[in-house]
């Protein structure tokens, strides 16, 4: 497998992990996409893209998410289980 194929596969896995973690955090706070978007200052379609695994949050958005949910970026990106 080429390095490009490995990176592409890892990127897909990362998007899925991030999407699942954001959904999990939203469930713990009983938030829907619209509510989360308002609380962190992004558009609802941005949150939708994250939870559907279409896009990954930017580093700045990860900081905001981590602060809001009182966790760290490592958890959101699937590097650690809390």
Q: What is the pLDDT of residue 81?
A: 59
For residue 71, give its domain range: 3-76
Q: Is residue 71 a contact partner of residue 25, using CB atoms and an 8 Å limit?
A: yes
DSSP codes, the chain: --HHHHHHHHHHHHHHHHHHHHHHHHHHTT--HHHHHHHHT--HHHHHHHHTTSSPPPHHHHHHHHHHHTS-HHHHTTS---
CATH of the domain at 29: 1.10.260.40
Q: Is residue 82 part of a domain?
A: no
Residue 64: CB atoms within 10 A of its CB come to 16
Better pLDDT: 81 or 6: 81
Q: Is residue 43 part of a domain?
A: yes
Is the per-residue pLDDT at 3 higher than 70? no
Q: Is residue 81 part of a domain?
A: no
**What would the mean pLDDT of 8-37 be, rounded to a whole number?**
91
Task: Say how many domains are in the chain.
Answer: 1
Q: What is the pLDDT of residue 58?
A: 96
Q: What is the pLDDT of residues 55-77, one digit of tens each?
A: 999 999 999 999 999 999 999 99
Is the per-residue pLDDT at 46 higher than 50? yes
């Amino acid at each position: 497998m080429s390095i490009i194929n490995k990176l592409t596969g890892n990127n897909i896995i990362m998007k899925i992990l991030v999407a699942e973690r954001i959904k999990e955090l939203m469930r713990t706070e009983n938030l829907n996409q619209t509510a989360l978007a308002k609380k962190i200052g992004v558009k609802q379609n941005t949150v939708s893209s994250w939870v559907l695994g279409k896009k990954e949050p930017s580093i700045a958005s990860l900081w905001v998410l981590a602060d809001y949910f009182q966790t760290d970026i490592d958890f959101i990106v699937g590097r650690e289980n809390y």
